[in-house]
Amino acid sequence: MSDNEIEFAKSEMRAGRHDVALATWHTILVAEPDNITALIGSGDCLMALKMHQPAVDAYARAHQLRPDIMPLVFALGTAEVAAGQVEQASVHLQQYLAHDDKNPHAHNNLALALTKLGDHDKARVHAEQAQTLQQKTSTISRKVRRQNPNDWQGLFDAGRGHIRQGEFGQARDSFQSYLMAQPNDHRGWECLGISELGLGLAGNALKSLDMALTLKPEALGALHHRAIALRALGRLDEAVAACAELLRMDPGNVYAHSVRGAIYLEAGKILAAVPDLETAIAPSSDQTYDIGDSRPALQGALAYAYRALCRWDPGYEKTRASIIDNLAKPAGQVALMVISPFQVLPLGLSGEAQAEVARRASHKAATSIGVLPKIKKAMRQDMRLRIGYLSPDFCNHSVATALHEVIVCHDRQKFYVEGFSLGRTHDEITKKFSQDFDALHDLSGLAHGQAAAFIAHRDIDILIELAGHTKGGRPEILAYKPAKLQISALGYGAPICADFIDCHLVDKELVPAAARKFYDEKLVDMPDCSLPASPPFSVTSGISRAEAGLPETRCLLANFGGSYKIDPFAFDAWMKILQGAPQARLALLDNTNIVNDRLREEALSRGVDPDRLVFVPFTDRAIHLARYAYVDLCLDTLTHNGGVTTTDALWQGAPVLTMRRDDMPDRMGPSLLTAAGLPELVAANADDFVRRAIEMAQNPDVLANLRQKVMSQHSAAPLFDTALYTKNLEAVLLDLWAKAVDNPFSDEK
């Protein structure tokens, strides 16, 4: 068989000369009776020539050879309906619809078959479904085909245009229409998969991309996006294997490196992530199948990886500068990946830059959604206000640590409280939340629109999202507006800049007056602190210093935050403190030997003996909290403050020294320590931070008195009164609800 013969047959079909094309397909089949392309092509020609039974025979032979090709199953079922073989047609069309239930022609043909079989009730259901789907997809088809009834390429191009604009719902409609006429075009299946990825339909996307690869196994773009789909489904090992296959077929493929680097970063394999990310952001002229330029997003990921490795070298500075330069330019074509606002939080970007990152991420979420389907709301059992908490972190996570007692303290006479979990991790803390919520729903397996529809079905009045732009957050769900009032709280204090967020709960210390201009969303101040500080679940008692992994020393300073929060600014201050307090040592979490060695080198370059740094291993949380009994003073990170790390220390009596920065959004340290009634632990600037720490470290009596005061504040300061926090939160929610609706329990949302 020659490729020329195949191309000739296809060109004759496109020209409508099906008899000539059929003769060519038959010539090919004489030489190669099992040629799939020729069998399908001859079947298509025979259908066009109204030769239905021979078409069935051709499709059936092809299906026998390749039962995995779903468009072929559809074609076979359609031909069987036309040939009067309705029983077989019913089987094949139902098989196809189990794969893709959005094809109106398949529903219509199945309705015809079922009618002839006498199953009129089922036939009516499929006929109605066909009509609904046809109405949904016909608008764009008519627009494109008005000028040329056979312009399916125009429909394809329209779909690509929607993808480039981030309009994934419209793109999906376009490619579903296109594939009705061109079911064997791998490009259509690939683009359908990309559209479904944009809508959060990773499972559907994987099926579409697998179909593209069935039709063309060497389709590099489909392989790339298949890896993205596997990653979105949490099948990380398979995603890495898909990247390896892409690199085997196309060594040096930047897209394989980009996806694999992102996977390694997500899995905490930072050292493995860096080489892939560095390769992925290298300038490349071959971006033939990627949608948009993902390099800015990868630069953000790489800068985050550098920070996690405490790499503050020219490579880091160059990457950071590239991010700043990109943010100063107009946002270009929408990409499947945008810069993560969370990953750039520790980079010390200006408030303007942080806001721009947030706007881009929120814009991508807002433009990528489809249409929220009409839903039937759950029956209300009473007239209580229905609150929903949306989070990926109802598990062993800092958000759960902060929140758990709030759920218990809610006034169940006034509020019905549900949780909506986006996380795949389920542990003992998840089990506790399932007991404390009135209902906890697992939405982790649902696409964005499906999750939004479920929340709308639950008839939630106020939806409180707890993730913002952090890992696992899904702003696309909120972009569907499933609740009348949507609030961001707790988990994220930086700008969100989304019009689908009605307000952001903050406090006057968390977001100072000078930084409020960086927030597009309405800011609502909580009375004391925007972050609750629920007591810890459990603390191991009676462990020794050695069991805690801590040394004997006259003064132990500590920071048990993530290494990505440590920057040269904070580390300079810490080393000055060690220089001014020669008897002190600094305890940090043990990351990897590379990170530890790098920090030792940084200490030595600042004139500090590296042995004064103590690296303590990660351990069970209850044991980790017990360590604070031996910590004299915690030193905060100064660009990206600690949150629950700080409240953990305070609950164990360990004082935490932080610093106020008036130009910085999300000042968690000053917010927490002010609410704890410990203003003496909030320094005015870096010099003041160093001075106060040295004075404390050199005076054991001052440290002892501070510890005693911290402990006494547990019963006196608002930070530690979760019942008061919850009461204040409820008052804010009731006030916002009263302003949001005239009739709080109207059916119209």
C-alpha distance across the termini of the chain, in Å: 62
Same domain, 96 and 26: yes
Same domain, 591 and 657: yes
Among 178, 198, 232, give the residue marking a domain's end: 232
Is position 511 within any domain? yes
Same domain, 292 and 210: no
pLDDT for 288: 44
Lowest pLDDT segment from 118-122, 414-418, 594-598: 118-122
CATH code (residue 328): 1.25.40.10
Residue 88 above 80 pLDDT? yes
Is position 132 within any domain? yes
pLDDT for 274: 95
Is position 550 within any domain? no
pLDDT for 149: 44
Is position 544 within any domain? no
pTM: 0.76
Is position 579 within any domain? yes
pLDDT for 744: 44
Lowest pLDDT segment from 65-69, 130-134, 553-557: 130-134
111-116 CB contacts, 8 Å cutoff, 24+ apart: 112/81, 112/86, 113/77, 113/80, 113/81, 113/86, 113/87, 113/89, 114/86, 114/90, 116/84, 116/86
Lowest pLDDT segment from 127-136, 324-333, 353-362, 532-541: 127-136
Contact (Cβ atoms closer than 8 angstroms) between residue 88 and residue 53: no
> Which structural domain range is residue 469 located in?
385-525
Which residue has better confidence, 376 or 68? Answer: 68
pLDDT tens per residue, range 524-569: 999 999 999 999 988 888 899 998 889 888 899 999 999 999 999 9
Same domain, 92 and 150: yes
pLDDT for 573: 98
Report d(CA 170, CA 394) in Å as an integer.
34
Report d(CA 719, CA 49) in Å as an integer.
78
pLDDT tens per residue, range 496-514: 999 999 999 999 999 999 9
Same domain, 122 and 198: yes
Is position 729 within any domain? no
Residue 1 above 80 pLDDT? no
Report d(CA 563, CA 516) in Å as an integer.
28
Q: Residue 656: how many CA atoms within 13 Å on its side-chain side?
A: 31
Same domain, 441 and 582: no
CATH code (residue 474): 3.40.50.11380
Same domain, 177 and 34: yes
Same domain, 274 and 363: yes
Rounded to 5 degrees, φ, ψ at 649 are -60, -45
DSSP string, 660-700: --TT-S--HHHHHHHHTT-GGGEESSHHHHHHHHHHHHT-H
Q: Which residues pair with 415 in a beta bridge?
A: 385
Is position 543 within any domain? no
Is position 693 within any domain? yes
pLDDT for 382: 86
Same domain, 343 and 405: no
pLDDT for 308: 95
Same domain, 196 and 260: no
When divided into structural domains, the chain yields a total of 4
pLDDT tens per residue, range 181-232: 788 899 999 999 999 998 888 888 999 999 999 899 999 999 999 999 999 8
DSSP 634: E
Buried b (16+ CB within 10 A) or exposed e, 507-537: bbbbbbeebeebbbbebbebbbbbbbbbebb
Buried b (16+ CB within 10 A) or exposed e, 668-682: bbbbbbbbbbbeebb
Same domain, 437 and 517: yes
pLDDT for 111: 86
Same domain, 150 and 275: no
